[in-house]
Structure 1
Amino acid sequence: MIPVQGVENQTIAVLGLGRSGRATAAALAAGGAHVVAWDDGADTREQAEQQGLRILDLTRDAHWEGISALITSPGIPHLYPKPHPVIAKAYELGIPVDNDIGLFFRSFATRDWESYDTTPRVIAITGSNGKSTTTALIHHILREAGRPTQIGGNIGTGVLSLDPAHDGEVVVLELSSYQTDLARALTPDIAVFTNLSPDHLDRHGGPGGYFAAKRRLFAEGGPDRAVIGVDEIEGRYLADQLAMAPSDDRVIRISSGLKLERFGWSVFARKGYLAEYRKGRQVAAIDLRDIKGLPGEHNHQNACAAYAATRALGLAPREIERAFHSFEGLPHRSQTVAEIGGVAWVNDSKATNADAAAKALTAFRNIRWIAGGLGKEGGIAALQPHLGHVTKAYLIGHSARDFALEIGQTPYEIAETMEQAVAHAAAEAQPGDTVLLAPAAASFDQYPNFEKRGEHFIALVRALQG
């Protein structure tokens, strides 16, 4: 646990008592704060009270007396589509609102660091797609190189549940737009922006607000190095805003497709090869084509981001390349589940929007595509240019019929459920085919989350093996 600094003897309110909320309350108490808490769920409040938390109904004006700050969980709206009533009340009263990410960055450094030989560092990764894989890959590279490291944030451990940093340790954090949007402190040593595609637009009031939430990671704290994916205009804009000139090597531009030779520092992948350029000259290259844990152009972009971040820490190219080969990937992200009778079964349940699904669809050939669920704004019509390798689509869930209207001439069937889709794909697949679950939709019509959807797919595939 990381005790929160600067809160001793203050009364701090915590809104939301899920995993991050409970961890935040404990970290505040460890820092000497008097913690009061509220959650909209009666059962959650009762459980928290049984665990010793003081529950205070923050919907009532009288209970705000003496409260010096409100710490809210990331999933609770603080601006769009409208603020939660408790957060709105804090604004009205002028009570500062923060989240656990802000508390982490203001509490991470301690006096113990004065005795360390190597100052601990923080790498923070944000973006629309690929941030979990990039975060896990950076953590993996550091471990393989023998560097002390922890991983947390939006993946794995909540930030305040991490251990205080050891000498020379690198903490790798995945940060969502929900987390970066509100944090009052954002000071990573290295910040990574993978890419941007439309997502969470209702929560951010549109694409501009969504990008602004991501941009805060770079604008608020001024990282020593910024690794920026420039395959979209937003990334090119961000890199331009941060760099003083094309030669400014504090900004490392990355791409999966663009040839970036004219900048002070760049890393890009083309035709399966990663190249690092410094001051217009190539200094390293890696063949990514046979790295099983990183299939497809989207994972090559993730590899570029992880390579750039760890190179910025001083790791050698060959150290990074060795770690690439031992990386097994993350569950539900282009995860090869099995090969049965010459047919590969791949679980990319995390592909919850069209952009993520497009990346998965370009990574394989002879695809039998399982897609559908609760479709997102904009649908999947944009996927038509990426369906050339799809032999047949098996459409499931709430938006199956809507998706059927948006995939052009691609053969399809309305399978309705995952069971039917897997059974029919198994019956029709030929050796050399890939059965790919890349839903391009949320899971909430049939599953509580994308993980459960992926786990169901895996269980059905395992059953085919007997």
Structure 2
Amino acid sequence: MIPVRGYEGHRVAVLGLGRSGLVAARALRAGGAEVVAWDDNPEARAAAEAEGFTPVDLSRDAAWEDVRTLILSPGIPALYPAPNPIVEKAWTHGAVVDNDIGLFFRSYATEDWGLMDRPPRVICVTGSNGKSTTTALIHHCLKAIGMPAQMAGNIGRGVLDLEPGVDGEVVVLELSSYQTEVARALAPDIAIFMNLTPDHLDRHGGMGGYFAAKRRLFAEGGPERAIIGVDEAEGRYLAAEMRQEAEGGDPVIRISSAQKLVGGWNVFARKGFLSEWRKGRQVASIDLREMAGLPGAHNHQNACAAYAALRSLGVAPKKIEVALASYPGLPHRCQLIGEKGGVRFVNDSKATNADAAEKALLAFPRVRWILGGRAKDGGIAALAPLFDRVAKAYLIGEAAESFGATLGTVPQETCGDMATAVSRAAAEAEPGEVVLLAPAAASFDQYSSFETRGDDFVAAVQRVLAAG
């Protein structure tokens, strides 16, 4: 745990006692703060009480006496679509609003770093798509290369649950827009912007607010190196904003999975090959095509981002290539489960909307597509240009009928549940095809989460693989 510094003897309120909130409360207490905590969920309050925290209803004015700061959990809105009433209370009573990310950046560096040969570095990854895989990929590569590393944030553990930094260590954080919009301190050594597509728009008051939340990591964080995906206008804008006139555009590294980039320092992937170019000449190339853990153009963009981060740390291209090749894939994100009779089985349960499912479909030329669940706005109509990749669709969940209608003449079968869909797809698949779970829908009609849905797919596939 990282004890929070700067609040010893002060009263600090924590709103939201889920994973990050409870960890923040512990870290504040470890740093000597007096913690008052609240969550509308009685079970969360009971869990906090079991650890010695006394829940205090922060909707009452009396609770704010001497409170210096409110620590906000990611799911609680600070401004849009409307400020949470307790955030309004904090403003009224003169308390500042922060979150665990802000506490991390004010507390992680300590006095003993001056005695280290290589003080710890922090890499932060944000964007709409691919940030979890990129975070996990960088962490995997660091470990494979032999560098001490920890991973946290929107993936795995809360940031304040990390161990204090050691000599030569690299911390890799996945940060959502919910986390970057509130943090009062942002100080990454390396910051990565993957891409921007419409998401969480109600929470941020539209695309402008959504982009502004992510831009804070760069504009206010002031990273030594900014790695920026430039396949959307927002990324091109941010790269131009961060670029310096001298040194050919450093400290920016532009990345792309859709185009060759010229000028400055660039890493891009085309036709399955990753290329690094500096000052107009190619300095390295890696063949990504046979890396089973990184299928498709979207994963090639993830590889470009990870490669650029590792190069920023001084790692040689050949070492990066070996580390990338050993990456097994992140669970539920184009995860290869196994192969039988020339048929691969891939779990992309995280593809909960059409945009994410599109990337999965583009990764494979011929699929037996398992899809369905609780439909989102627009359904799968946007995927029509990719229907020619579908050998057959196997429909599950609430959206089976509506998705079937959109698929039209595409061969299809309504299976209802996952076990039936996997069994039917496996029985009919031909060598060279992929049985792909990319639901393009939420999981909540049949499952508690996309992870639970993915686990069910994996279990069904394992039964197929274990059969004679």
Structure 1 SS opposite 2:350: coil
Which residue is 1:438 aligned to?
Answer: 438
Aligned residue for 1:127? 127
Equivalent residue, structure 1, for 2:259: 258
Q: How many residues align?
A: 465
How many angstroms apart in 2 are the aligned matches of 1:234 and 1:375?
A: 28
In the TM superposition, residue 369 of structure 1 has moved relative to its aligned partner by 0.7
Check whether the contact 2:230–2:236 (CA below 8 A) recurs between aligned residues. Answer: yes
Matched, 1:136 2:126: no
- Match of residue 184 from structure 1: 184
Q: Deviations over 1:401-435 (max 9, x none)?
A: 33334345433333332233223222322222211
Residue identity matched to 1:460: A
Equivalent-residue separation in structure 2 for 1:98 and 1:105 (angstroms): 11
Q: 1:440 and 1:152 mapped to 2: Cα distance?
A: 27
1:30-45 alignment runs, 5 A limit:
30-45=30-45
SS in 2 for 1:54: coil
1:201 corresponds to which residue? 201
Give 1:327 deviation, angstroms. Answer: 1.0
- 1:83-115 residue CA offsets vs partner (Å, 9 max, x unmatched): 322122212333211110110011111101010
Aligned counterparts of 1:79 and 1:203: Cα–Cα separation in 2: 8
Matches within 5 A, 1:211-360: 211-245=211-245, 247-261=248-262, 263-360=263-360
**Letter matched to residue 75 of structure 1:** G
1:412-431 matches, cutoff 5 A? 412-431=412-431
* Contact 1:49–1:55 under 8 Å retained in 2: yes
Deviates more, 1:154-163 or 1:42-51: 42-51
Q: 5 Å matches for 1:71-150?
A: 71-150=71-150
Match of 2:260, SS state, is coil
Structure 1 residue 132, shift from structure 2 partner: 1.0
Displacement, 1:43? 2.2
More displaced 10-residue stretch of structure 1: 87-96 or 396-405: 396-405
Aligned-partner SS, 1:388: helix
Residues 127-173 of structure 1, C-alpha deviations (whole Å, 9 max, x = no match): 11111111111111111222111111111121000011001211011
In the other structure, the counterpart of 1:4 is 4
Distance in 2, matches of 1:432 and 1:267, equals 31
Q: Distance in 2 between matches of 1:241 and 1:406?
A: 42
Letter in 1 for 2:302: N
Alpha-carbon displacement from aligned partner over 1:6-44 (angstroms, at most 9, x marks no partner): 101100011111111111001001111000100101122
Match of 1:18?
18
For residues 381 and 244 of structure 1, do their structure 2 counterparts lie closer, same or farther at Cα, with a shift above 3 Å needed?
farther
Greater CA deviation, 369-378 or 132-141?
369-378
- CA distance, structure 1, for counterparts of residue 241 and residue 378 of structure 2: 29
Q: CA deviation at 1:46?
A: 2.0
> What percentage of residue pairs aligned between the two structures are identical?
65
Q: Aligned equivalents of 1:393 and 1:209: distance in 2? A: 37
Residue range with higher mean Cα deviation, 340-349 or 241-250? 241-250
The one-letter amino acid of 1:58's match is: L
* Letter of the structure 2 residue corresponding to residue 229 of structure 1: G
Q: What's the offset of the Cα at 1:292?
A: 1.3
* Distance (Å, rounded) in 2 between the aligned partners of 1:139 and 1:17: 27
Aligned pairs (5 A) from 1:367-446 = 367-407=367-407, 409-446=409-446
Which residue identity does 2:285 align to in structure 1? A
3-state SS of 2:414 partner:
strand
Structure 2 stretches lacking a partner, 5+ long = none
Question: Matches of 2:434 and 2:314 in 1, distance apart?
Answer: 39
Aligned residues of 1:384 and 1:408 also touching (Cα < 8 A): no
Bigger drift between 424-433 and 437-446 goes to 424-433
Aligned Cα RMSD in Å?
Answer: 1.5
Q: What's 1:63 paired with?
A: 63
Structure 1 374/57 Cα, relative in aligned 2: closer, same or farther at 3 Å?
Answer: same
In structure 1, give the amino acid aligned to 2:223: P
What is the one-letter code of the residue matched to 2:254?
A: R
Whether the 8 Å CA contact 2:154–2:176 is kept in 1: the answer is yes
Point out where structure 1 has 5 or more consecutive residues left out of the alignment.
Answer: none
Q: Which letter does structure 2 place at the counterpart of 1:339?
A: E
The answer as to whether partners of 1:383 and 1:407 remain within 8 angstroms in 2 is no
Displacement of 1:399: 2.6
SS in 2 for 1:63: helix
- TM-score, normalisation: structure 1: 0.96
Q: Distance in 1 between matches of 2:34 and 2:23?
A: 15
Q: 2:317 and 2:426 mapped to 1: Cα distance?
A: 41
- Corresponding residue number in structure 2 for 1:170: 170
SS in 1 for 2:198: coil
Report SS of the residue matched to 2:46: helix
Match of 1:160 in 2: 160
Matched letter for residue 68 of structure 2: S
Q: How far apart are residue 81 of structure 1 and its match?
A: 2.4
TM-score scaled to structure 2, two decimals? 0.96
Shift of 1:280: 0.9
Q: Distance in 1 between matches of 2:438 and 2:186?
A: 33
Cα distance between partner residues in 2 of 1:279 and 1:454? 44
Cα displacement (A) at 1:279: 0.6
Residue equivalent to 1:456: 456
Once residues 254 and 282 of structure 2 are traced to their aligned partners in structure 1, the CA distance between those partners, rounded to angstroms, is 14
